[in-house]
Amino acid sequence: MSNEQLNLELKQLIIDTLDLEDIGPADIDSSEPLFVDGLGLDSIDALELGVALQKTYGIKLSADSEDTQKHFASIQALASLVSAKCPGEA
């Protein structure tokens, strides 16, 4: 899967998992922050996204690790995480 495809897949995962009404993949900038300033996700969304990553890609993240914050920074950061943990996806 190309980077582009993985980015699109992750955007769709976020939209579906977090019930983002009226938002399409094109509305999410891959380099923009997902939380607070950019897309405006909150702490409940972070937990929900963690569960979705585990269900979809089998990736387990620790809630209090600083690395987790980095992985959740943007779509690009999430894509790097998925590519690293699941080479088959990228």
Instruction: Using CB under 8 A, pick the residue from 48, 56, 83, 90 that binds other proteins.
Output: 48
- Reduced to 3 states (helix: H, G, I; strand: E, B; else coil), residue 74 is coil
CA–CA dist 30, 25 (Å, integer)? 9
Contact 49, 18 (CB under 8 A): yes
Binding other proteins (rule: CB under 8 A), the pick from 3, 31, 47, 84 is 47
| The binder of other proteins chosen from 22, 37, 64, 66 (CB under 8 A) | 22
Q: Which is nearer to other proteins, 8 or 49 (CB)?
A: 49
Assess 64 for contact with other proteins (CB under 8 A): no
Q: Which of 18, 28, 34, 82 binds other proteins (CB under 8 A)?
A: 18
Q: How far is CA 68 from CA 1, 60, 65, 81, in A?
A: 23, 10, 5, 10
